[in-house]
Structure 1
Amino acid sequence: MSGWRAGLVAIALGGVVLAMGWFLNRPDPSDPTSTTDPVAQSDLRLACSAAFSLVCDELAELNGYGRSDYSISDPIPEDAVVIGFASDLPAGATVFARSPIAIGVWAEKAPTLENECGTVTPACLVEQAGTPWSEIGGSAGWGAVRLGLSDPETGIADLEAWKLIASQNPGTDFGQFVPLRRETDGDVVTDLVLFPSRADIVVASEVAIGSQLANARGRAGRIRVYYPDPSPFLAVAAVGEGRAAANFIESLGSADSQSLLGSLGLRPLTGETTNLMQDLGTPAGEGATVTEAEKSALVTSWNSLIGN
């Protein structure tokens, strides 16, 4: 972790670590597992997908926990707390934060897109995807407008992102975009930063974009963040087994923890945005999330688009 990030997070979350201490180490005399939990607090690890890489990295380092990656197809490890979107986790996961769906655009190209569209919206993305940047006032060296999308079957955030695009009826002749069929929204944003030639724009969860904002500034510039109006908000949750996991999960709901979630790219359940990460904003409105009845049609439309 870079020095500036370590300093920032230490300042922002120092109070949270102290508050967590009481939760994490207190005994529970009414629970027989308090003294027989097979996983000691110090042996706990946090497991997250790419979308939550910053969240897991910082919380694991601050608490002295291990850290591992997690896929929604994996079973919940016995010695870990898994953090992810509630819809991607087993029933019984504890919701402690939220994250809206957002649009990330490389900042050097964002003004060109704004000038052409007026407002950067899903309709704008569908209209401009595949258009040479030079035709809308950008540099010929940028090639065509490339929109990065992930397979809606890989997770709820990917499904919500595709719903926003599909709602604009892109049709089977939809212009150039980047179908990353086996990657989650976190992987799409990571690829945007590591390989900026792959995509100019992504539609993904805000927490996934937030996890890569610092890396983007260190590599190829800033990512400008826009919000659909309305923007669907996804519930973020944690799940784990045993007293050690339960203590940590409970600590995430404390007032101190909630007040500082914004510095990790998450929205607290309270709605507070005072400590929101730099470069993030506030959606104008909150939209409905995907229903069970919509899922099948969305997956079918995606498969039709990519030729499956």
Structure 2
Amino acid sequence: EDDSLRVTVVDDGTTTDDLSVDGATAGFDAWLSAGPWPAIVADNRAAAGLRTDPLGETSRVLGRSPVTLVGPTDRVEALEQHCGGTISWSCVGDVSGQPWSTLGGAPAWGAFRTGLTPVDTGGGLVALDQAVANRSGTTEWSTTELDDVSDWLSQLVGAATFSNDPLDVMLTRPGSFSLTAPLERRSGPAFGRADTGNRFRLLYPEPMVTADVTLSAATGESVDALLDRLGGDRLARTLTEAGWRLPGQPSPFTVNGSPELPKGSGLTTPGALQALRTTVQEMRP
């Protein structure tokens, strides 16, 4: 342990909002974020005409994790058949809120519900970026495409249940959700347990997108010096233990092939992601 380090855990979206207003200052030396949050801060401030920046440099990518879909085996098999053999986000949105009895499933399963993490977390925002990209047919979707798919997105979000760890809820209470969308850093270790793979299925939906971990320095701080202070080996070990893939290294997981990651995150622009955050927050029941 290093007594000189003090860690505060805050949702990335909360930090983003705090840093996006006039007069904002970073109440930290370094911000370890999962997802495109520093870029969203910069874009929000530029859009508001704010000249000073509470953040300095952002590091290289330190860890990565793709979005996965996880569901009880019987429900995944029924959904695959209903969706024509491949489960896509587009199909998930179309069936959201519908009775399973109309989708080829058992009436006892109730209505189709997805368990999602909030859009103020890296995993939640990245998953819904992937959903919009799949529905709109482009990873470079803009607010125009977001408007075009708004009815579909409203159906997906309106029937979903948002919680901090829907995967854990589903694994302990299998009837809670029809499907969840955790990052691989959560689903990979879960499927390392012998019983999980017998009862649940893990899928890698398209187009593949990733939440990427970076370290951003407060203005006046050196990101390289901060990384040295944290210790490269210690940080890599911490990220690996938390399920993140280290750049350039193979996946530690073997479930469903654990496909190679794309070179970039595959996410759309910061401005469009901020619009997605706002839209989903307004749609949530």
TM range (shorter): 0.5 to 0.7
Change (3 A) 1:303 1:85: closer
Identify the match of residue 211 of structure 2 among 191, 211, 234: 234
In the alignment, is the contact (CA less than 8 A) between 2:88 and 2:205 conserved in 1?
yes
Identify the match of residue 129 of structure 1 among 96, 102, 118: 96
Deviation at 1:44, TM superposition (A): 7.3
The structure where strand makes up a greater share of residues is 1
Q: Which residue of 2 aligns with 1:147?
A: 114
In the alignment, is the contact (CA less than 8 A) between 1:189 and 1:202 conserved in 2?
yes
Q: Which residue of 2 aligns with 1:224?
A: 201
* 2:205 alignment partner AA: P
- 1:1-308 superposed matches below 5 A: 41=1, 43=3, 70-72=10-12, 73=14, 84-85=33-34, 87-88=36-37, 92=57, 94=59, 95-117=61-83, 118-152=85-119, 154-167=120-133, 168=135, 169=149, 171=151, 174=155, 177-180=159-162, 183-184=163-164, 187-210=165-188, 212-213=190-191, 217=195, 222-237=199-214, 246=228, 248-251=230-233, 261=240, 265-273=243-251, 275-276=252-253, 278=255, 281-282=258-259, 288-306=266-284
Change (3 A) 1:214 1:92: farther
TM-score (norm 1): 0.59
Deviation at 1:71, TM superposition (A): 3.6
Change (3 A) 1:46 1:129: farther
Q: Which residue of 2 aligns with 1:22?
A: none
Deviation at 1:211, TM superposition (A): 5.1
Separation in 1, partners of 2:33, 2:172:
23
Separation in 2, partners of 1:133, 1:147:
13
Change (3 A) 1:44 1:100: farther
Tell me the alpha carbon deviations over residues 203-227 of structure 1, each in whole angstroms, 9 at most, x when there is no partner: 2322233354467947x96432212
Q: Secondary structure of 2:228's match?
A: helix
User: Which has the bigger relative contact order, CA under 8 A and spacing at least 6?
Assistant: 2
Higher mean Cα deviation, 129-138 or 113-122?
129-138
In the alignment, is the contact (CA less than 8 A) between 1:229 and 1:283 conserved in 2?
no
Deviation at 1:269, TM superposition (A): 0.5
Separation in 2, partners of 1:76, 1:195:
39
Separation in 2, partners of 1:202, 1:91:
35
Separation in 1, partners of 2:235, 2:243:
16
Unaligned segments of structure 1, at least 5 residues: 1-40, 48-67
Separation in 1, partners of 2:260, 2:150:
24
TM-score (norm 2): 0.63
Unaligned segments of structure 2, at least 5 residues: 16-25, 39-54, 136-148
* 2:188 alignment partner AA: G
Q: Secondary structure of 1:235's match?
A: strand
Tell me the alpha carbon deviations over residues 227-274 of structure 1, each in whole angstroms, 9 at most, x when there is no partner: 2222112212357999897355411577xx69x94x75322210423x
Deviation at 1:289, TM superposition (A): 0.8
Identity among equivalent pairs (%): 19
Q: How many pairs does the alignment contain?
A: 234
Q: Secondary structure of 1:204's match?
A: coil
